[in-house]
């Protein structure tokens, strides 16, 4: 769907190739995102452990990440969501008498939605940092202040056609950063 690597440098390629140094750089770049997401979903106490699991799982499954199909941050967030679901499920596992058989008290329907939403919004928030200030301003005017394109053009002294193309381009760049590729890694 996306033809160009979403990362602006070759870090994702080096990571997939098994470059241990790249893992450290990936951790430095995306560790705060993953850790913050974990804090919000499983709590501060468990966040570090889950963050560790995410990066170890990502390293072991690195050959399943395709830099041409997704952004590394979104892919890591996909793994983080799966790990968080694991933790939330485990917390709901109940003991059935003394028989060590695992059971949950029915399908967990409420948990995934907020977790998914938090993860998606945090990836989006991170992606916004990489937009030009003008593009961010236009998104704000269009979707928060709900101005029309003409009002935005008047407010920013930018031609109407440019406003439209800026917004469109900004959205598609953000969408590229939201795309994670294979989301079955856990």
Partner 1 sequence: MTEFADLSPDDLAVAELYRSLTPEDFELVAPPPGLWAAIEAETQTQTQAQVEATENAAHVAARQAPPTSQTPRSEPTSRAQSAVRAMSRRGVVRFTAVAAVAALALVGFVAARRLGADPERQLALVELTTAGLETPEPTASGTAELVEEGGHQVLHLHLDRVTARSGEYLELWLIDTEVSGMVSLGTARDGAEYPLPAGLSISEYPIIDVSSEPYDGDPAHSSRSLVRGVVSI
Contact with partner 1 (CB under 8 A) among 68, 95, 130, 154: 95
Taking CB under 8 A as the binding criterion, the range among 4-12, 31-39, 66-74, 153-161 that sits at the site for partner 1 is 31-39
How is 77-121 classified by DSSP, letter by letter?
HHHHHHHHHHHHHHTTEEEETTEEEEEESS---TTHHHHHHHHHH
How far apart, in whole angstroms, are the C-alpha atoms of residue 15 and residue 65? 9
Residue 6 touching partner 1 (CB under 8 A)? no
How far apart, in whole angstroms, are the C-alpha atoms of residue 148 and residue 155? 10
- 3 state DSSP class of 127: helix
Contact with partner 1 (CB under 8 A) among 117, 130, 132, 165: 117
Question: Can you give the binding site for partner 1, defined by CB under 8 A?
Answer: 17-20, 23-24, 27, 31-36, 39-40, 47-48, 51-53, 55-56, 59-60, 82, 85-86, 89-90, 93, 95-96, 99-104, 117-118, 120-122, 124-125, 128, 139, 142-144, 148-149, 168, 171-172, 174-175, 178, 184, 186
């Amino acid at each position: 769907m996306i033809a160009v690597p979403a990362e602006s440098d070759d870090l994702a390629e080096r990571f997939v190739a098994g470059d241990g140094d790249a893992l450290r750089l990936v951790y430095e770049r995306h560790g705060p995102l993953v850790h913050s997401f974990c804090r919000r979903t499983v709590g501060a106490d468990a966040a570090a452990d889950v963050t560790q699991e995410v990066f170890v799982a990502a390293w072991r499954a690195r050959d399943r990440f395709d830099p041409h199909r997704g952004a590394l941050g979104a892919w890591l967030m996909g793994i983080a969501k799966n790990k968080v679901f694991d933790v939330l499920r485990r917390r709901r596992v109940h003991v059935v008498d003394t028989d060590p058989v695992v059971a949950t008290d029915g399908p967990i329907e409420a948990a995934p939605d907020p977790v998914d939403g938090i993860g998606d919004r945090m990836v989006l928030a991170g992606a916004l940092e990489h937009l030009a200030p003008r593009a961010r301003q236009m998104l704000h005017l269009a979707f928060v202040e709900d101005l029309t394109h003409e009002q935005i053009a008047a407010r920013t002294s930018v031609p109407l056609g440019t406003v439209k193309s800026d917004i469109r381009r900004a959205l598609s760049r953000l969408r590229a950063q939201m795309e994670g590729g294979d989301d079955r890694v856990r």
